[in-house]
Structure 1
Amino acid sequence: MENWGRLSHLFVTVFLSNFSELMVSPAIPDVTLAAVCPGKDECSAAIYLTGFQQAIAGIGSVIMMPLIGNLSDAYGRKTMMTIPLVLAIIPLVVLAWKRTITFFYAYYAIKTFTAMVTQGGIMCLALAYLADNVSEGKRISAFGVLSGVTFAAYVGGTLAARLLSTAQIFQVAAVLSIVSAIYMGVFLKETTRENDALKQPILKVTESDEDSCKASKKIDVVRKIPSPQDIYRLLKSSITFSLAAFVAFFNSLAEAGLQACLLYFLKARFQFKKDQLADVLLIAYIGATISNMLLMPTLGPIIGEETLLSLGLFAGFLNMFFDSIAWAPWVPYASASMGVFLFLSSPNLRSIVSKQVGPNQQGLAQGCILGMTAFANVISPLIFSPLSALFLSEDAPFHFQGFSILCVGLAWLAGFFLSIMIPLLSRNKSSNEDCVVA
């Protein structure tokens, strides 16, 4: 792989940042319930709080992801990556200090606003950085390795959460988050591009010229903010890009619904605690690491990203279907093994998108797709949080505690049907263009 030394520093940065973020995930439901509904295994208020946080963070991300991606096209991936890495430290430090009710709500407020940038910002910039340094033919393998590194961090973080106490989890996560920001600042090399706005010729200028230059730079920064028309033109530029955006929407709709519902469902259905939740996540993330590090680089060039994308989306539907009808505590563990295929969706989607635009639009393209996923993160809690709270309560219209989980699976199924259309419509468009040329 080209520029392996440079990319290895990117992988370490992504690993550390995701490790610190994901090791707190199994502990958050317990901390939330302890603060909102002490002594209870199910609590509608906790579910609604989680959903509200996802929705507000998603609204901000819809704006911030295309903006960060577009600015990174001009001002550098490393420069922009500093922002989400530093912001990710703050909420972790709050819960590392104390986990009282006051500190929990302070964490909740800070996390809600910082997530607008951190939720997808690091991955957006990492994907664009990768596309800058890897040729198109090798991108599927590189994106698979990046995704595999991410899930390896999930495995390590989840395993750490399984072994550490709640207090130690947040302390270690805060330290690792700080280390990731420092490591990136010291070791990661900035991407060099000929049109880099940061690189200006050193010339002797008059005071009036200098003032004019400063004003020009301010205008240039404003112009880097993508308008809705820019995003609309990008979506119209390629039928493959448009379909990929819709698939990304449904995939993120399901992923956000899974995050909002599954852990609370397992606590209510089987009284799972932190350790059991961590075990379920651990199985899924180990499978995802294996598939992204091995299956995607080996099978991707042979059968194509589109096939692997469809396989991942259908595996997501099956996973949620079995979880929704789980009749024994071992069923969630068994269905979590489908993580081998489930988490193939996102990296293959990113690889497809990266091939639809030029080198100077990688940040905007990845930011646009992450903006679509952020929009799904806004809608998802509005759908799945009330559903989950209703069907886990005694006022459910019919007894089916896993109904919201099944609906999450249906979102993946919708994405699956759209993904099937990508190679078909792309092939038809190519055939029509060949006929016109002939």
Structure 2
Amino acid sequence: MEEESQCGSSCGGDEMKGMMEKRELRHLFVTVFLSSFSIFLVFPALTDVTIAAVCPGRVSCSLAIYLTGFQQVIIGMGTVVMNPVIGNLSDIYGRKALLTFPLTLSIIPLAILAYSRETNFFYAFYVLRTLTAMTCEGSVNCLALAYVADNISEKERASTFGILSGFTSVSFVVGTLVARFLPTSLTFQVAALVSMLAAVYMRIFLKDIRPSDNGDSTLRQPILKEPEPVVERITDDDYTPKMKIEFKKMPSAGDLFGLLRSSNTLSQAGIITFFQCLAEGGMQATILYFLKARFQFDKNQFADILLLVGISGAISQMIFIPLMAPKFGEVKLLSTGLLLTCIGMFLDSIAWSPWIPYAATFFTSFGLLAQPTIRSIASKQVGPNEQGKAQGCIAGISSFANIVSPLVFSPLTALFLSEDAPFNFPGFSIMCLALATVIALIQSTMIRAPPAISGHSLA
């Protein structure tokens, strides 16, 4: 009886801790929502603001396309280095401490356009946005995923990653909806205010919790001493033994490649991430300019398109992933999302009427299934103390794809939208983006996710 009482007390304590940790995720979700809202609120207006600043009075502007592509390349060069570093440092100093950095820096460029959208202020925004995003872009999502992995068991991780991504999609919907009705003169002022609110909310309410080796949750304490490298062997039934390495604070490119080589599954996830993000980055850099030149879409129609993508994406992430992931697994969901994305991109590329891009959003929105499922697959291949490294590594690959994508597709889009196009196919660049997604789809059909490396469980 005494043993049963002790067991009941212990089990009840574990359940209570698990519930407390899941409640902490609510504060993380609110932080991600507010941060993403401030970004998405200005997104529909940026195309018009950019063209008005660099090419006043024109509908199509090659210079604006090149500037957007160049900015994306420079940002990608910074984040491909900084995301793995920030993820690695968060394993040592805590997610909250590292989250403060990007949330604070992101306020600065928004405040500039909140003050004025004249040409000189636009270029100041352009420069500062480029510099801050080299450090910040993608890091909030990377750290949020690592925070979730710290506090959620492996069997629930895919669903929770989907819910986290769903909150991003909901912020996308709300931000786009507000942008649809908010005057451009107020858009950047509201975005700057919400960005400040996100940083303050996170500092006040979010607790930095990490799993300890025995499964309990404790407040993360800074480790001031440089950890010694630790090497241990891991073995899968389907793969030969590999080496799992605990890196130093500043991981090198060799360290990151070593992590990818530690598992065939991680290597395949990296390849899929590259081609999926190559296509996604190309769409972000070109699709709005394509729609403006092809069908003379303006800010309101951009907002309508983005709103449809966000609503259907939120539904797929917050409902479809939690329902389907336990039954079919992340790999099948990943392939399904990539297949539907291919269909949507092909439809966009051959759009002959303004209603086609609206119809294509049903398919392209399922592309939002890709990142949560890839991140869940990668998360299960490393130990509990390497979640920041793993998520930072995947984020670094995504950033590298964002370097390559505008270098290739921005000039290609500008060429085929100009009068000097080699042949009459305005959507040729989008067709090429669809082919990149096909490569990711083929690779996803060959991925085999072995049993998770870590036996760590919190729930």
- TM-score normalised according to structure 1 size: 0.91
Q: How does 1:266-281 map to 2 (within 5 A)?
A: 266-281=291-306
Alignment check: 8 A CA contact 2:208 2:220 kept: no
Query: RMSD over aligned Cα, in angstroms?
Result: 1.9
Q: What is the CA-CA distance between 1:411 and the residue it aligns to? A: 1.1
Between the aligned partners of 1:8 and 1:248, the Cα distance in structure 2 is: 28
SS in structure 2 opposite 1:398? coil
Deviation string 1:40-92 (CA, Å, 9 cap, x unpaired) is: 11111000000000000000001000000000000000000000100111111
Indicate yes or no: 2:357 matched with 1:303.
no
Q: Deviations over 1:280-327 (max 9, x none)?
A: 010011000001010000001101100111111111111110011111
The match for 1:16 among 11, 34, 41 is 34
Q: Could you say which residue in structure 1 is the equivalent of 2:110?
A: 92
Q: CA shift at 1:347, angstroms?
A: 0.5
Matches within 5 A, 1:118-129: 118-129=136-147
Q: How does 1:31-430 map to 2 (within 5 A)?
A: 31-194=49-212, 198-199=221-222, 223-423=248-448, 426=449
Cα offset, 1:194, TM superposition: 4.5
Distance between the aligned counterparts of 1:414 and 1:227, measured in 2? 28
The whole-number CA distance in structure 2 between the counterparts of 1:192 and 1:20 is 28
SS of residue matched to 2:42: coil
> What per-residue deviation string (whole Å, max 9, x for no partner) do you get for residues 347-379 of structure 1?
111111100000110000000000000000000
Give the whole-Å Cα distance in 2 for the aligned partners of 1:111 and 1:218.
34
Contact 1:64 1:117 in 2 (8 A): yes
1:26 paired with 2:44, answer yes
Q: Which amino acid is the alignment partner of residue 321 of structure 1? A: F
Name stretches of at least 5 consecutive residues in structure 1 with no aligned partner. Answer: 201-213, 431-438
Distance, in Å, in 2 between the alignment partners of 1:229 and 1:392 is: 41
TM norm structure 2: 0.87
Q: Distance in 1 between matches of 2:121 and 2:212?
A: 47
The 2-side partners of 1:199 and 1:62 are apart by 25
**C-alpha deviation, 1:127, in angstroms:** 0.2
Partner of 1:192: helix, strand, or coil? strand
Structure 1 contact 20–177 (Cα < 8 Å) conserved: yes
Question: Residue 16 of structure 1 contacts residue 180 of structure 1 at CA under 8 Å; is this kept in 2?
Answer: yes
> How many angstroms apart in 1 are the aligned matches of 2:190 and 2:363?
29
**Structure 2 Cα separation of the partners of residues 242 and 166 of structure 1:** 44
Please tell me the residue identity of whatever aligns with 2:43. Answer: S
One-letter amino acid of the structure 2 residue matched with residue 338 of structure 1: F
* Contact 2:85 2:250 survives alignment (8 Å): yes
Q: Which runs of 5+ in 2 are unaligned?
A: 1-17, 214-218, 230-246, 453-459
Cα distance between partner residues in 2 of 1:411 and 1:389: 19
- Given that residues 287 and 339 in structure 1 are in contact (C-alpha distance below 8 angstroms), is that contact kept between their aligned partners in structure 2? no
- Between the aligned partners of 1:233 and 1:278, the Cα distance in structure 2 is 42
Find the aligned partners of 1:191 and 1:225 in 2 and give their Cα distance: 23
Match of residue 204 from structure 1:
none
User: Structure 1: how far apart are the matches of 2:371 and 2:72?
Assistant: 19
For 1:266, the aligned partner's letter is: L
**Partner secondary structure for residue 210 of structure 2:** coil
Counterpart residue identity of residue 358, structure 2: Y
Counterpart of 2:12 in structure 1 is: none
| Structure in which a larger fraction of residues adopt helix | 1
Say if 1:161 and 1:197 are closer, same or farther in 2 by CA, change over 3 A: closer
Give the Cα separation in 1 of the matches to 2:344 and 2:222.
49
The Cα of 1:219 is off from its aligned counterpart by 10
Query: Which residue number corresponds to residue 436 of structure 1?
Result: none
Counterpart CA distance in 1 for 2:189 and 2:165 is: 26
CA shift digits 1:244-273 (9 cap, x unpaired): 001001111011100111000000000000
How many pairs were matched up? 412
The one-letter amino acid of 1:324's match is S
Among the aligned pairs, what percent are the same residue? 54
Q: How many Å separate the matches in 2 of 1:143 and 1:282? A: 22
One-letter amino acid of the counterpart of residue 158, structure 2: I
